[in-house]
């Protein structure tokens, strides 16, 4: 069975792009897309049995940014890193963001936009 993926990013255009890329990668089954972190959190809490294997999380979002969202995820799902690979995805090249990722040792990696099909495939293979 193909793994599921969840994308949390406020950029509507990016959402459209990543949707296409996920389709093209063919490694993922079910895919969830959220432009607001809050919505993602409440949804994920509901679909626990089909928790996504991969989470792609944007940093720069209004109301709740990526880091805050990650804090919530960690508290809501204590076994988060065992059941899912969490990637931080950003167009940011800020040093501070790359530093901050060290505070979250469970995070699988930092991915720089633009995303490529190959990246998604590689992520899909490394699935837990």
Q: How far is the CB of 84 from another protein (least distance, A)?
A: 24
Is residue 60 part of the contact set for another protein (CB under 8 A)?
yes
Phi, psi of 83 (to 5 degrees): -100, -15
Q: How far is the CB of 104 from another protein (least distance, A)?
A: 19
Is residue 98 part of the contact set for another protein (CB under 8 A)?
no
Report the alpha-carbon distance of residue 92 to residue 49 in Å, rounded: 33
Q: Which of 46, 79, 82, 93 binds another protein (CB under 8 A)?
A: 93
Name the helix (H) or strand (E) containing 67.
Answer: helix 66-76
Report the alpha-carbon distance of residue 39 to residue 62 in Å, rounded: 13
Q: Which of 1, 46, 49, 62 binds another protein (CB under 8 A)?
A: 62
DSSP 114: S
Residues contacting residue 20 through CB under 8 Å, at least 6 positions apart:
none
Is residue 126 part of the contact set for another protein (CB under 8 A)?
no
Is residue 92 part of the contact set for another protein (CB under 8 A)?
yes
Residues lying near another protein in the complex (CB under 8 A) are found at 11, 13-14, 16-17, 20-21, 24, 36, 60, 62-63, 90-94, 113-115
């Amino acid at each position: 069975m193909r793994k599921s993926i969840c994308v949390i990013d406020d950029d509507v255009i990016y959402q459209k792009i990543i949707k296409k890329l996920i389709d093209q990668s063919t490694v993922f089954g079910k895919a969830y897309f959220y432009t607001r972190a809050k919505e993602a959190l409440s949804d994920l809490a509901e679909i626990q049995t089909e928790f996504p294997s991969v989470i792609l999380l944007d940093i720069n979002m209004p109301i709740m940014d990526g880091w805050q969202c990650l804090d919530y995820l960690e508290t809501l799902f204590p076994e988060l890193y065992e059941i899912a690979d969490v990637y931080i995805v950003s167009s940011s090249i800020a040093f501070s963001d790359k530093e901050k990722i060290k505070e979250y040792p469970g995070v699988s990696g930092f991915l720089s936009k633009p995303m490529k099909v190959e990246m998604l495939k590689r992520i899909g293979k490394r699935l837990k």
